[in-house]
Structure 1
Amino acid sequence: MKIEIIRTNSEDKDFISLVKQLDAYLKMMDGAAHAFYNQFNNIDVLKNVVVVFVDKKAVGCGAIKKFDAISVELKRMFVSLDARGKGVAQKVVQELETWAKELGYKKCVLETGERQVEAVKFYTKCNYKKILNYGQYKGMENSICFEKAL
């Protein structure tokens, strides 16, 4: 199994393809709330994107977006169903955290849904700590927000 990680941007065709898979998955998981969450997931504003390839096939992605002067927000994290459990998500997060540090950021924040049980477990395993819901997620019962100092 040969793993390759590339840094790119939101115009990358492999990233766009993976995001389409992510959106289909989230639409199924979020149900009626999907339209609300989806409005915050435009990819055209993402300049720092990571795509992971296993044996030359794009299987995972994620991005960082400036949140405030010292923080970035992790966005559009996804690993294709057939590549889960192989450490791909961990590689995406590690690369995004490294990139954020290189850009001078001190912290990562993110939001996920309580229905995304695997994601909640994953971020906890990666040493992310639950915080009060921020920004557009305040008052959203399905949202769980996390942060991690870099």
Structure 2
Amino acid sequence: MKIFECDPDHPDAKCVLSRLSETLLEAVGDTGQSSFDADDVRQTRSAFFVGYDDDIPIACGALRPISEGIVELKRMYAEKGLGSLLLSALEEHATSLGYSRVWLSTRVANHKAVHFYKKHNYKQLANYGKYAGRNNSICFEKILS
């Protein structure tokens, strides 16, 4: 997989974001689109990436600043079992931007995502920001090396 930074309004980004939304709707009954603002990943120390397999967009992920040392992982999606590769690339980019921690939220009902993040050494964190008090969300943190 080749991973490139691009604008979330790029046609390839929109294509893979659409598949992510369809997958989430089927898995948890919500597309998750209301939790993503493309302008959040156009600011300083943020990023949006699309991953390709043979020039076909099959993955995406975004980094949105929360504070000086904390970045939020948004809209992560990968096909063909390439999620670990994408996550590693996003974490490396977060480190290169000067972040020491990655936070994220997913739906409790998204068992596949919960298992994936735990497998990659993400630890449960008290629900933060707009996820505070929401029983359907579970938040995670990883301290970057």
Q: What is the CA deviation profile of residues 93-136 of structure 1, one whole-angstrom value per residue up to 9, with x for unaligned ones? A: 11111111111111100000111111011101111000110011
Structure 2-normalised TM-score?
0.88
Q: Contact 1:72/1:105 (CA < 8 Å) preserved in 2?
A: yes
Among candidates 31, 37, 44, match of residue 42 of structure 1:
37
Query: Residue 66 of structure 1 aligns with which residue?
Result: 65
- Give the letter aligned to residue 107 of structure 2: G
The answer as to 2:145 corresponding to 1:147 is: no
**Fraction of identical pairs, as percent:** 34
RMSD over equivalenced CA pairs, Å: 1.6
* Alignment partners' CA distance in 2, 1:18 and 1:30: 18
Q: What is the CA deviation profile of residues 21-80 of structure 1, one whole-angstrom value per residue up to 9, with x for unaligned ones? A: 11222233333xx38x53221223223112111122111110100011111000001124
Structure 1-normalised TM-score?
0.85
* Alignment partners' CA distance in 2, 1:39 and 1:79: 20
**In structure 2, the residue corresponding to 1:122 is in which secondary structure?**
helix
Q: Contact 1:131/1:145 (CA < 8 Å) preserved in 2?
A: yes
Q: Contact 1:63/1:76 (CA < 8 Å) preserved in 2?
A: yes
Query: Residue 23 of structure 2 aligns with which residue?
Result: 25
The answer as to 2:87 corresponding to 1:93 is: yes
The answer as to 2:130 corresponding to 1:136 is: yes
* Alignment partners' CA distance in 1, 2:12 and 2:19: 11
* Alignment partners' CA distance in 1, 2:96 and 2:68: 14
Q: Contact 1:10/1:45 (CA < 8 Å) preserved in 2?
A: no
* Alignment partners' CA distance in 1, 2:50 and 2:131: 26
* Alignment partners' CA distance in 2, 1:44 and 1:20: 18
- Give the letter aligned to residue 98 of structure 1: E
Q: Which runs of 5+ in 2 are unaligned?
A: none
Query: Residue 5 of structure 1 aligns with which residue?
Result: 3
Query: Residue 74 of structure 2 aligns with which residue?
Result: 75
Q: Which runs of 5+ in 1 are unaligned?
A: none
